[in-house]
Amino acid sequence: MEGGRLVRLIGCVKNYDWGRLGKESRVARLYACNSGDYHVVDQDKPYAEFWMGSHDSGPSYVVEGGGENGNKLTLKEWIENKPSVLGDKVVNKWGTNLPFLFKVLSVAKALSIQAHPDKDLASRLHSELPDVYKDDNHKPEMALALTEFEALCGFISLEELKLIVQTVPEIVAVVGTAHAEQVLELNKDGGKEKGKLVLQSVFTVLMSASKDVVAEVIAKLISRLCIKNQARELTEKEQLVLRLEKQYPADVGVLAAFLLNYVKLNPGEALYLGANEPHAYIYGDCVECMATSDNVVRAGLTPKHRDVKTLCSMLTYRQGFPKILQGTAVNPHVMRYIPPFDEFEVDRCILPEQSTAEFPSNPGPSVFMVVEGEGTVTTSSNEIIREGDVFFAPANTSITVSTSSGLHLYRTGVNSRFFEE
């Protein structure tokens, strides 16, 4: 056991093309501060994700006590050398791997329409296509907004779906009038399963349409919306569709957006996503936490590998607006966001000038990240912390954070409900 000593980490940056450019990106600024190299940021390069965790696709490194011959030690290797830092209950459930992956995202343009597989599907996909599906784990996740944050998430309600079929002729042109009539004939008393089958059929036909058909229909859609815009103000969804088409011309995801909920989060609001739920982040900065996995099944708004057949077959086809988490106060300065997944929870700590927050000891490990400001963290000793600092706290470590000038700090750890079972 490390005796409650905090371990500083160097995170990993991802330069996906949807990220914000250069120092406009919060990810780039955090990465520069975290690595201590302020010249590392290329102004012409996108900085999309900053990873903190033990996943092989983007490992964090331990700052102190590196490996032999000057080799840097990954967090995963460090934990394997001293698994007691995770706590007994965590090791018994997940082994010596950190069960969560912590990220910051800076989104300039839409990510792919995607879903994450459940454990059974993840295991099968990984065995069949290990170069595409990098691990055999599921990937429930939660996004906590740092700025105003936009996303598509889950399927719209039956009432909204009927309205789309009646008012967006381009959707009907792709899926056919027979499918459109099936939607209009649905009613709430007809049973959820029938509704899901009809929605699945409509979505599958739409996503499987040929590129030529999609390109032709989207051209008509854009032309129609531009004419409508002269007569009336477009709806939020219509305005979004125009934005998406500029980012991904002639992409079927532009049409699919009509079938998904358009969600806008304010800073401090969170959205969680279970396995097999469709979503696409659109714009803004967020803290994201998930089970330790990098499995993504994509089908639109992306230049990357698409697996339309798998995506359309795996979805739950649950309808209705997603639940937005506001957080629960655990002390005057800390809000806690607890999704229905064992692997993680997230604390948002906003400390004003001359204030202090306590993080009591916990039976599992935590990762802390400073997003803004400067302060002091106290365990067995005092350490100055500032923007970009990331540190690992072993199980059963109590922490006090204080600041004279103001500090924004985020913590992720294993879901506290897991320890109550």
User: Which residues carry a binding-site annotation for Zn(2+)?
Assistant: 114, 116, 141, 279
Catalytically annotated residue among 29, 298, 336, 411? 298
- Please tell me what DSSP assigns to residue 362: -
In terms of Cβ atoms closer than 10 Å to its own Cβ (0-12, 13-18, 19+), residue 412 is buried
Q: How far apart are CA 34 and CA 370, in angstroms?
A: 10
Question: What is the C-alpha separation between 30 and 368, in angstroms, rounded?
Answer: 13
298 a catalytic residue: yes
Phi, psi of 233 (to 5 degrees): -75, 130
Instruction: Summarize the annotated binding site as residue ranges.
Output: 114, 116, 141, 279
**Residue 3 identity (one-letter amino acid):** G
From residue 79, alpha-carbon distances to 62, 68, 86, 99 in Å are 10, 16, 8, 12
Sign of the torsion formed by the C-alpha atoms of 291, 297, 299 and 300: positive
Q: Do 353 and 403 touch, CB atoms closer than 8 A?
A: yes
Instruction: Return the amino acid letter for 325.
Output: L
Type of residue numbered 284? G
**Overall size of the chain counted in residues:** 421
Any idea what the Cα angle at residue 183 is, between residues 179 and 184, rounded to 5°?
115
Round the CA-based radius of gyration of the chain to a whole number and report it. Answer: 23
Map tokens 């459940």 to a residue: 118
Q: What six digits make up the tokens of 131?
A: 């170069």
DSSP 268: T
CA 306 to CA 296: how far, in whole Å?
10
Q: Which residues are known to be catalytic?
A: 298
